[in-house]
Amino acid sequence: MRTILYLVRKEFIQIFRNKFIARAIFGVPIVQMLLLVPALTFEIKNVNLCIIDRDMTSESRTLINQLEGSAFFRIGYRTFSVEEALDLLHKNKCDLILEIPDGLSKNIGNRASSKVMVSVNAINAVNAQLSWAYMNGILRDYNINLLAENGGSMIAAPVPQINITNRYWYNELLNYKYYMLPGILGILVTAIGFLLAGLNLVREKEIGTIEQMNVTPVRKHHFIIAKMFPFLIIGLIDLAIGMLIGKLAFNIPLEGSIALLFLASSIFLIAVLGLALFFSTFSSSQQQFMFVAFFCMIIFILMSGIFTPFESMPVWAQKIDVINPVVHLMRINRMVMLKGSAFTDISREIYSLTVIAIVFTALAVIRYRKTA
Q: What is the pLDDT of residue 153?
A: 46
Q: What is the pLDDT of residue 156?
A: 46
CA distance 118 to 50: 10
CA–CA distance from 236 to each of 26, 100, 165, 231, 269 (Å)?
12, 58, 42, 8, 9
The helix/strand/coil state of 57 is coil
Ordered alpha helix ranges (H), the chain: 2-17, 19-39, 58-68, 82-90, 104-109, 125-150, 176-207, 210-214, 220-250, 258-280, 286-302, 315-320, 325-334, 347-367
Domains of the chain with bracketed CATH: 2-40+172-367 (no CATH), 47-148 (3.40.1710.10)
Q: What is the pLDDT of residue 282?
A: 83
Sheet holding 73-78, edge to edge: 73-78, 47-53, 96-100, 117-120
Closest alpha carbon to 241 in 24, 33, 38, 36: 33
Task: Please give the distance of CA 156 from its chain centroid, rounded to a whole number.
Answer: 52
Q: What is the pLDDT of residue 149?
A: 73
CA–CA distance from 162 to each of 151, 158, 159, 165 (Å)?
19, 13, 10, 10
pLDDT along the chain (372 residues), means of 10: 79 78 78 83 82 89 88 89 91 90 83 85 85 88 79 51 75 84 89 84 79 74 86 90 90 90 94 91 85 89 84 87 92 92 93 94 85 53
CA distance 344 to 265: 16
Q: What is the pLDDT of residue 127?
A: 83
Phi, psi dihedrals of residue 47, rounded to the nearest 5°: -70, 120
| End-to-end CA separation in angstroms for the chain | 24
Angle at 337 between CA 331 and CA 341, to 5 degrees: 70
Task: List, as one string, the DSSP characters of 109-160.
Answer: HTT-----EEEE--SSHHHHHHHHHHHHHHHHHHHHHHHHHH-TTT-SSPPP
Q: What is the pLDDT of residue 225?
A: 87
Task: Please give the distance of CA 51 from its chain centroid, rounded to a whole number.
Answer: 34
> Are 88 and 77 contacting, i.e. CB atoms less than 8 angstroms apart?
yes
